[in-house]
């Protein structure tokens, strides 16, 4: 217990770092994933092909490799000098967007074509079809799996700690410098993540149960 | 072609789509061109920075690293499947004193980030308890605990997705609990879940790259090593590109295999309506398994 209490400042700042990284990457990945999904369902073949290619490649790339690129290789390109935090955000966004895209796309695809056809037959415009018919139905099947993707993102932020020390995964290095028991310290980190992840998991299951569409 | 969002295009929509296509291509080419330009300006295409690829020692080093990656993947995959099967059996048990602990174990290992698990095994146990654990063991155990828990959920969802009539009929025939499970439920559940299980193995392969962070000498570790060699011109970008190609090819092949299995199970299912499987449950589980 005193490993936690003696180093409360360390834990607090590290978990604030984790949450910051998570929030920025979550918003970024949802925006990026929506854009990719819009490409993947668009009537333009080139954009569809690009979206499909991006998703296929990124989903089969280890996140560690993406981080590796942004941590070590990106500075060599001398484009813009970014802080490690910004590069970690970019790595997480590049990676997670592909998963968000798949969730959104399969959510849109769960809406039967007849729904859109019926609304077109009733004279609804594209915006009305999208806003009042398709999206409200798609949302129900998107949000629960989207929550699991973002939970995975929260856990993936720890990989940033392997490349630099500013968030919860990096606590052990500071602790061993201060001479505390690393095992106990790391177990507290695990507990911290349980506290962050479990409410989200419960929320996700609740949404899944309440929002599941019976077709 | 009519999709949910778009009707079959008329002449105006066709023109608009063409315009969008041209603009989209232009934007993509511009981005790709900028990246290639930066590569060229910073000298990443110079011949001497690619010289390392011709050295035999380095080729052998990379093959060795690849074998290390594959070894960790193979051992972790087998252990995860066994661990997952045991946990799934526990979660499906009728006895609360088995089901409870199994549920806690599954939930715990799914909620804790894999890297933290590996750090606990590697740094925590060795420095905290004084037990020496090699990087390989820590990596494999971490992968086993995390992916085993996910696989347990996949197995369980597979069994749960079967129509209840299957087990009712088996019980009515006088089968015992174990017989119902091994002779009736598991064969069907495994067939339905096989694509998802293979997708989860892709995750194992991808996550084996985490070994880099505890200095297990796999592909990324050697890439970092080669990339910092001054006498080779510090070729971190060329090495990273080669390593990325290796990783992505391996994972894509495994994913393709999962796709192939999925198509195959789908095809037979259509022919054989006697074994209906709850598609939505399977699909949701696939989406969940595909999450990183």
DSSP characters over A134-190: IHHHHHHHHHHHHHHHHHHHHHHTHHHHHHSSSSGGGHHHHHHHHT--HHHHHHHHH
pLDDT > 70 fraction of chain A, expressed in percent and rounded = 95
Q: Give the mean pLDDT of A189-200.
A: 89
Token code pair at residue A56: 């296929």
Shortest Cα distance from B93 to chain A (angstroms)?
22
Window 150-169 of B: residues touching A by CB (8 A cutoff) are none
Average the pLDDT over B256-282 and give the result.
Answer: 64
Assign B2 a pLDDT band (cuts: 50, 70, 90). Answer: low
A176 and B123 in contact by Cβ < 8 A? yes
Taking CB atoms and an 8 Å limit, are A161 and B115 in contact across chains? yes
Going by the DSSP 8-state scheme, the letter that residue B7 receives in this structure is P
Is the Cβ pair A47, B21 closer than 8 Å? yes
Distance from C-alpha of B213 to C-alpha of B139, rounded to nearest angstrom: 10
Chain A contact present for B124, CB below 8 A = yes
Rounded Cα–Cα distance for residues B175 and B170 (Å): 6
Q: Is the minimum CB–CB distance between B133 and chain A shorter than 8 Å?
A: no
Find which of A41, A48, A63, A76 to mutate to test the B interface (most B CBs within 10 Å of its CB): A76
Judged against a pLDDT cut of 70, whether residue B274 lies above it is answered with no
**Contact criterion met (CB below 8 Å) for A152 and A99:** yes
Tokens of B196: 């998802």
Dihedrals φ, ψ of A146, to 5°?
A: -60, -40
Q: CA–CA distance from B9 to each of A42, A108, A117, B179, B192 (Å)?
A: 12, 19, 14, 56, 38
Alpha carbon of B160: minimum distance to chain A alpha carbons (Å): 15
B53 vs chain A: nearest CA distance in angstroms?
18
| CB of A96 closer than 8 Å to CB of A153 | yes
- Measured between CA atoms, how close is A28 to chain B, in angstroms? 17
Quick check: B4 and A176 CB within 8 A? no
B98 touches A at CB < 8 Å: no
Note the pLDDT tens digit of each residue in B234-259: 788 888 899 999 999 999 999 999 99
Q: Which residue of A has its CA nearest to B244?
A: A65
Structure tokens at B143: 């992968």
Question: Distance (Å, rounded) from C-alpha B67 to C-alpha B164?
Answer: 45
- Distance (Å) from the alpha carbon of A162 to chain B's nearest alpha carbon: 6
Give chain B positions within 8 Å (CB) of A197: 111-112
Reported residue count of chain B is 292
Spatial CA neighbour of A64 closest among A160, A129, A142, A128: A160
The span from the CA of B106 to the CA of B149, in Å, is 5
Quickly count: other Cβ atoms within 10 Å of residue A40's Cβ.
Answer: 20
C-alpha distance from A181 to closest chain B C-alpha (Å): 6
- Tell me how far apart the alpha carbons of residues B146 and B110 are, in angstroms, rounded to a whole number: 6
| Chosen from B14, B49, B114, B119 to mutate, greatest number of chain A CBs within 10 A | B119
Angle at alpha carbon of residue B54, lines to B52 and B59, rounded to 5°: 80
**pLDDT class of B272 with cuts at 50, 70, 90:** very low
Query: Is B255 an interface residue toward A (CB < 8 Å)?
Result: yes
d(CA B130, CA B263): 50
Neighbours of A111 (CB within 10 A): 21
Residues 6+ positions from B220 with CB-CB distance below 8 Å:
A64, A65, A68, B209, B211, B212, B243
Please tell me the predicted confidence (pLDDT) of residue B291. 55
User: CA triplet B27, B29, B35: central angle to 5 degrees?
Assistant: 105
Which member of A72, A148, A169 has the closest CB to residue B291?
A: A148
Cβ pair B113:A169 closer than 8 A: yes
Residue B95's CB is within 10 A of a number of other CB atoms, namely 8
Task: Report whether A72 contacts B240 (CB < 8 A).
Answer: yes
Residue B285 is predicted with a pLDDT of 54
> pLDDT at position B28, please?
92
Structure tokens at A137: 């139905």
- Asked if residue B66 lies in contact with residue B219, where contact means CB atoms within 8 angstroms, the answer is yes
Least confident of A72-81, A127-136, B190-199: A72-81
| Contact (Cβ atoms closer than 8 angstroms) between residue B139 and residue B217 | no
Q: Measure the CA–CA gap between A144 and A127, rounded to whole angstroms.
A: 25
With CA atoms as reference, report the closest residue to A62 among B104, B112, B176, B254: B254
- Whether the predicted pLDDT of B32 surpasses 70: yes
Q: What is the average per-residue pLDDT within B86-108?
A: 92
Q: Which residue has the higher pLDDT, A60 or B5?
A: A60
CB contact under 8 A, A106 and B206: no
Q: Do A64 and B210 touch (CB under 8 A)?
A: yes
Q: Can you tell me the distance from the alpha carbon of A138 to that of B100, in angstroms, rounded to the nearest whole number?
A: 35
Tell me how far apart the alpha carbons of residues B80 and B145 are, in angstroms, rounded to a whole number. 7
> Is the minimum CB–CB distance between B61 and chain A shorter than 8 Å?
no
């Amino acid at each position: 217990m005193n490993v936690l209490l003696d180093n409360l400042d360390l834990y607090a700042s590290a978990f604030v770092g984790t949450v910051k990284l998570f929030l920025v990457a979550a918003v970024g990945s949802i925006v990026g994933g929506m854009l990719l999904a819009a490409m993947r369902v668009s009537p333009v073949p080139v954009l569809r092909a690009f979206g499909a290619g991006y998703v296929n490649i990124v989903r089969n790339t280890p996140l560690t490799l993406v981080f590796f690129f942004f941590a070590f290789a990106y500075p060599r390109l001398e484009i813009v000098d970014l802080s490690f935090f910004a590069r970690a955000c970019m790595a997480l966004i590049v990676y997670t967007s592909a998963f968000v895209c798949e969730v959104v796309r399969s959510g849109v695809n769960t809406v039967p074509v007849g729904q859109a056809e019926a609304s077109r037959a009733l004279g609804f415009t594209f915006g009305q079809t999208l806003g009042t018919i398709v999206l409200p139905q798609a949302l129900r099947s998107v949000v629960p799996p989207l929550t699991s993707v973002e939970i995975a993102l929260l856990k993936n932020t720890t990989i940033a700690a392997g490349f630099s020390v500013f968030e919860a995964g990096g606590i052990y290095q500071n602790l061993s410098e201060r001479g505390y028991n690393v095992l106990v310290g790391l177990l507290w980190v695990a507990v911290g993540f349980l506290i962050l992840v479990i409410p989200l998991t419960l929320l996700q299951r609740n949404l899944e149960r309440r929002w599941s569409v019976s077709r | 072609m009519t999709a949910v969002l778009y009707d079959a295009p008329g002449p105006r929509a066709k023109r608009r789509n063409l315009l969008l296509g041209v603009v989209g291509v232009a934007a993509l080419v511009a981005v790709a061109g900028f990246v290639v330009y930066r590569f060229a300006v910073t000298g990443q295409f110079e011949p001497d920075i690619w010289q390392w690829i011709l050295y035999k020692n380095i080729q052998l080093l990379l093959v060795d690293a690849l074998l290390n990656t594959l070894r960790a993947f193979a051992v972790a995959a087998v252990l995860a499947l066994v661990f997952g099967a045991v946990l799934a059996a526990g979660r499906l048990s009728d006895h609360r004193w088995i089901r409870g602990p199994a549920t806690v174990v599954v939930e715990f290992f799914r909620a804790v980030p894999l890297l933290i698990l590996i750090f606990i095994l590697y740094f925590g146990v060795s420095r905290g308890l004084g037990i020496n654990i090699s990087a390989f063991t820590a990596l494999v155990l971490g992968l086993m605990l995390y992916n085993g828990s996910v696989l347990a959920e996949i197995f369980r969802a597979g069994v749960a997705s079967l129509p209840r009539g299957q087990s009712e009929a088996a019980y009515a025939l006088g089968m015992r609990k174990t017989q119902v499970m091994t002779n009736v439920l598991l064969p069907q559940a495994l067939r339905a879940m096989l694509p998802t299980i293979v997708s989860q193995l892709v995750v194992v392969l991808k996550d084996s790259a985490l070994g880099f962070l505890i200095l297990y000498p796999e592909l990324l570790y050697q890439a970092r090593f080669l990339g910092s060699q001054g006498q080779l011109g510090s070729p971190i970008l060329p090495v990273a590109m080669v390593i990325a190609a290796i990783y992505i090819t391996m994972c894509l092949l495994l994913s393709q295999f999962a796709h192939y299995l999925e198509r195959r199970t789908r095809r037979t299912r259509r022919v054989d309506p006697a074994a209906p499987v709850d598609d939505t449950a399977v699909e949701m589980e696939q989406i969940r398994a595909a999450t990183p």
